Structure 1
Amino acid sequence: MHTALFFAVAAFFEIAGCFAFWAVVRNGANPLWLAPGVVSLIAFAGALTQVEASVAGRAFAAYGGVYVAASLLWLWQVEGFRPDRWDMLGGAVCLAGAAIVVFGPRA
């Protein structure tokens, strides 16, 4: 449960931080949005270090699947665009891959 919580927290902060940059560069938002974006990305990095994994690369790989699914949730809840069936299928495949990385038997 600890890992799932920190993956979710990391995803929120990474997506929020990247979205701040997207808003400035692509949507013409006030450049002051970059400051909370940077703080959010720092919080993302801190949260990701708290997941229960023996090596960083495995934590990062598993997080990738969580990131994809969380990004689709962001698309729907923040940007107001409902993911289509292909988005949902892709997100499910990514989460399945993340679960394999996290829960796969190790020698």
Structure 2
Amino acid sequence: MTFFWFIAAAVFEIAGCYTFWMWYKLDKSIYWLIPGVISLALFAWTLTLVESSFAGRAYAAYGGIYIVMSLAWAALVEKHLPSVWDGLGALLCIVGALIIFFSASQLHQSG
């Protein structure tokens, strides 16, 4: 379930932030900020549903998922395909997130 919550959190965070981008950078209506703030609140709540002993560790592991989901958002919503370098960077971040996530679960089981 943890990866589900990470993915849900990323969607809420990116969507919420994107509404601010639309308002400020794309001259969309200020009313876009209303669903944006709601989405950001859902993001914060969703991250609390992740099983972790420490918030910082959950946020660190989430970072890798966020990066991959941001690149997917760019491709799907903004129609901007990531470069090979984007993909390589995302892969490195996912490896780091997996190390943090699985080492945390090992520490939790042995502690």
* TM-score, scaled relative to structure 1: 0.96
Structure 2 match to 1:77: 76
Structure 1 match to 2:41: 42
Spell out structure 1 runs of 4+ moving beyond 2 A: none
User: Share of identical aligned residues, percent?
Assistant: 48
Q: CA RMSD in A?
A: 0.8
Whether 1:54 aligns to 2:56 is no
Once the two structures are superposed, what CA deviation does each residue of 1:28-85 show, in whole Å capped at 9, x if it has no partner? 1111000000000000001100011111000011111111110000000000011110
- The aligned length equals 106
Whether 1:103 aligns to 2:102 is yes
Task: Give ranges in structure 1 of 5+ residues lacking alignment.
Answer: none
Return the alpha-carbon distance in structure 2 between the equivalents of residues 57 and 81 of structure 1.
31
Return the alpha-carbon distance in structure 2 between the equivalents of residues 81 and 57 of structure 1.
31
Task: Give ranges in structure 2 of 5+ residues lacking alignment.
Answer: none
Structure 2 match to 1:89: 88
* TM-score, scaled relative to structure 2: 0.93
